Amino acid sequence: MISEILKNHIKITEEQAKMFDIIAEMLVEKNKVVNLTALTEPQDVAMLHFYDSLSLCDGDVLSKDSAKSVIDVGCGAGFPSLPLSVFCPSCRFTLLDSTEKKLELAKELKERLGLGLETLPGRAEELSRLPSQREKYDLATARGVARLNILCEWAMPFVKVGGVFAAMKGPKGAEEAEEAKNAIKILGGTLERITNVEIPLTDRTHSIIVIRKTSPTPPTYPRENRKIQKKPL
């Protein structure tokens, strides 16, 4: 069980442990039907999916006791939102992905475990222009997905002024942040910090790039996706 592996590295309750095990079991089963992840071994799921996702619980980004609205841009299999919804039950998570089939797992887990999840199928650059979504969230996060200079234009329009975009990246987070400094500024953000996270039982180090939304995103952004991809800010 993945919860037994997690307990050696992070403090969780017995109720949380049971929920994490159910999420892991359903992930592996759903992965047989929909391609969600290449990681299905218990230790990989525990550390590279769950532990990594929970590393976002850091100070003013997210905490167990916070009640923030969070959008997970390009959520894929549902990380980091699925583990975080167990660990931070007062938060409200919206999982966004352009592939609607990938959102089925979150829907099933919401039904079975009563998690604070909503799903939002569609393209980020289109949805963030809707009045119901623009600058609505306390926190936007994205795990991997794209280079930061592209990812900022997809994610930052969702964040309210004063909120945070926390990009979960690999070991070259500082390099991507430097590349994206123009995009961060144009879209209304300020780079606040970069936190490196060592993943136990692996040789991997990940990074969390914390960008504070300090002014509204100009109405001309986001652009059409072909323009974002062709000419990043």
pLDDT for 154-211, tens place per residue?
A: 999 999 999 999 999 999 899 999 999 999 999 999 999 999 999 999 988 999 999 9
pLDDT at 145: 83
Peptide bond into 222 cis (omega under 30): yes
Mapped onto helix, strand or coil, the DSSP state of residue 162 is strand
- Domains belonging to the chain, first-starting first, are 47-230 (3.40.50.150)
pLDDT at 59: 64
Peptide bond into 219 cis (omega under 30): no
Tokens of 99: 């592939």
Q: Which helix (H) or strand (E) holds 16?
A: helix 14-31
Burial of 226: CB neighbours in 10 Å, binned 0-12, 13-18, 19+: exposed
**Distance (Å, whole) CA 100 – CA 106:** 11
**Distance (Å, whole) CA 42 – CA 32:** 16
Tens digits of pLDDT across the chain (233 residues): 889 999 999 999 999 999 999 999 999 988 888 878 888 888 988 999 999 999 998 766 888 888 899 999 999 889 999 999 999 999 999 999 999 999 999 999 999 999 989 999 999 999 999 999 999 999 999 997 889 999 999 999 999 999 999 999 999 899 999 999 999 999 999 999 999 999 999 988 999 999 999 999 999 999 999 999 999 99
**Distance (Å, whole) CA 109 – CA 111:** 5
Region label for 56, one of left (φ > 0), alpha (ψ between -120 and 50) or beta (otherwise): alpha
Q: What is the pTM of this model?
A: 0.94
**Distance (Å, whole) CA 85 – CA 151:** 23
Nearest residue to 171 (alpha-carbon basis) of 197, 200, 210: 197
* Cβ neighbours for 102, distance < 8 A, ≥ 6 positions apart: 34, 36, 75, 76, 77, 78
**Distance (Å, whole) CA 116 – CA 215:** 28
pLDDT at 62: 87
Task: Point out which residues pair with 197 in neighbouring strands.
Answer: 206
* Cβ neighbours for 189, distance < 8 A, ≥ 6 positions apart: 152, 156, 165, 211, 212, 213, 214
pLDDT at 1: 82
pLDDT at 14: 95
Classify strands 205-213 and 159-169 as parallel, antiparallel or unpaired. antiparallel
Residue found by looking up tokens 């099933």 in the block: 108
